[in-house]
Amino acid sequence: MTAGITRATEGVQGISWNILGQIYVPKQVSDAAMSWHATFPQGTFVPPHIHPTQDEFLYILDGCFDLLLDGAEHRAVPGDLVRLPMGVPHGIFNKSDTDIKCLFWVSPTRRLFDLFWALHNLGPDANPAEVVAVSAAHEVDFLPPPEDADPQDAEPA
């Protein structure tokens, strides 16, 4: 990692990913950790999944997330830090009527940077099974939906 400042309106190397409708702007990337600014439009989510090789964190800037953390429901508001230890199942949902902005980071980076490139610009018609398979190949494991769940809730977004 090099010393410096990544400006508020910039991403590392000018990168901005569209990950199934969410905008991720990487702010720092090294082997030890990666951070990115995320914008979750209303109604978007990341279904329950596990990072078996990374700890993940979210710092909420604007809006209110509904979260599923290790089977329990929680809510995170601006100023909250969400801690997601490796191996703990979690899902992230914007059920509000406004965009949510937050800062994510993981440690170590592992294959997440490459995963975001693989998912970038897949669009709204992405095949959920393909997204799940690509994610698993990059060390993010999506969980099967509960038996009583709406099938739409199983789609990564």
Query: Mapped to the 3 state alphabet, what secondary structure does the chain carry?
Result: CCCCCCCCCCCHHHCCEEECCEEEEEEEECCCCEEEEEEECCCCEEEEEECCCCEEEEEEEECCEEEEECCEEEEECCCCEEEECCCCCEEEECCCCCCEEEEEEEECCCCHHHHHHHHCCCCCCCCHHHHHHHHHHCCCEECCCCCCCCHHHHCCC
- Using one digit for the tens of pLDDT, what is the confidence trace for 65-113? 999 999 999 999 999 999 999 999 999 999 999 999 999 999 999 999 9
Total-model pTM = 0.89
Q: Where are the chain's structural domains?
A: 15-144
CATH code, 15-144: 2.60.120.10
- Using one digit for the tens of pLDDT, what is the confidence trace for 20-57? 999 999 999 999 999 999 999 999 999 999 999 999 99
